[in-house]
Amino acid sequence: MRGRAMTAQLTGPAARAWQADPYADALRAGRGPLYLRRHDGWLLPLEVERWCAGPDTADDTVLARCTGPVLDVGCGPGRLVAALAGLGHVALGVDVTPEAVARTVRAGGSALCRSVFDPLPGEGGWGTVLLMDGNIGIGGNPGRLLRRAGELTVPGGSLLVEVATADVDERVEVHVEDGRGGRGASFWWARLGARALCAGAGNAGWTPYDTWEVAGRRFVHLTR
């Protein structure tokens, strides 16, 4: 599938939100500003420039832990998928934003424009599943997402998750905005720290294996 993008119809508010102009426009330009805003006004800056660049030192620690074929859920512009392909891995990204899929393919990776909850290739056969850049928040229901990741992964496989550096466990309604008046539709998102992720992992069939922090980013390695 290297170098190919395939599309599927996307439905639901979260899918529509990530296809909205502020996010797609930021990916197209390769830069922000871009934010997630809660209804109480709290803002989470989104690191578009980092996502659109090559892997950094923190990403390298994730890449080094990948084994077998790798599925990157919410791959964005594809920096990790492209890097994994360059390292000889079979790697596939999935993302609900067509511009993210297009950038991944241009970078030399393979990607599908699809939700993680849609049918995916190789279900039950992925050696490693990635949830980077806060993507444990997808859908606002980490338990459901962890169970879905388990359906995708081989027995004994790995789930590598980037978590919040703070000890947080929240499900919130947010929207994407660009700080210049552009905003997308509202959708549900979650933010988890390492403690909350590890506490809930067992209910979805995962066992905490390792945690680490690099360059102000924190990660958790779970195994089946």
Please report the pLDDT score of residue 188 as a whole number: 95
- Backbone φ, ψ for residue 160 (5° rounding): -105, 120
Among 3.30.930.10, 3.40.640.10, 3.40.50.150, 3.40.50.261, what is the CATH number of 5-157+172-190?
3.40.50.150
Instruction: Give yes or no for residue 189 having a pLDDT over 70.
Output: yes
pLDDT digits (tens, 9 = 90+) for 195-223: 999 999 999 999 999 999 999 999 999 99
Instruction: Give yes or no for residue 179 having a pLDDT over 60.
Output: yes
Instruction: Give yes or no for residue 20 having a pLDDT over 80.
Output: no
Over residues 166-171, the mean pLDDT reads 96
pLDDT digits (tens, 9 = 90+) for 109-154: 999 999 999 999 999 999 999 999 999 999 999 999 999 999 999 9
Q: How many other C-beta atoms are found inside a 10 Å radius of the C-beta of residue 196?
A: 19
- Determine the Cα–Cα distance for residues 143 and 126; give it in Å rounded to an integer: 19
- Determine the Cα–Cα distance for residues 118 and 96; give it in Å rounded to an integer: 11
Largest CA distance in the chain: 47
- Determine the Cα–Cα distance for residues 180 and 41; give it in Å rounded to an integer: 15
Instruction: Give yes or no for residue 4 having a pLDDT over 50.
Output: no
- Determine the Cα–Cα distance for residues 101 and 89; give it in Å rounded to an integer: 18
pLDDT digits (tens, 9 = 90+) for 29-67: 999 999 999 989 999 999 999 999 999 999 999 999 999
Q: How confident is the model at residue 10 (pLDDT cuts 50, 70, 90)?
A: very low
- Determine the Cα–Cα distance for residues 62 and 50; give it in Å rounded to an integer: 15
- DSSP, collapsed to helix, strand or coil, labels residue 53 as coil
DSSP H or E stretch at residue 222: strand 217-223
Strands (E), the chain: 5-7, 35-38, 43-45, 70-73, 91-95, 111-113, 126-131, 153-163, 169-177, 187-192, 207-214, 217-223
| Cβ(34)–Cβ(174) below 8 Å | no
Q: Which two tokens stand for residue 56?
A: 């950094």
Token pair 């970078």 is found at 107
pTM: 0.91
Please report the pLDDT score of residue 23 as a whole number: 93
Whole-angstrom CA distances from 5 to 38, 80, 100 are 32, 16, 10
Burial class (CB in 10 A: 0-12, 13-18, 19+), 54: exposed
On the question of a cis peptide bond just before residue 13, with omega within 30 degrees of 0, the verdict is no
Count helices and strands in the chain by DSSP H and E runs: 8, 12
Helix pair 98-106, 21-29: axis angle to 10 deg: 20
71 vs 19, residue with greater confidence: 71
Q: How confident is the model at residue 19 (pLDDT cuts 50, 70, 90)?
A: low
Please report the pLDDT score of residue 14 as a whole number: 52
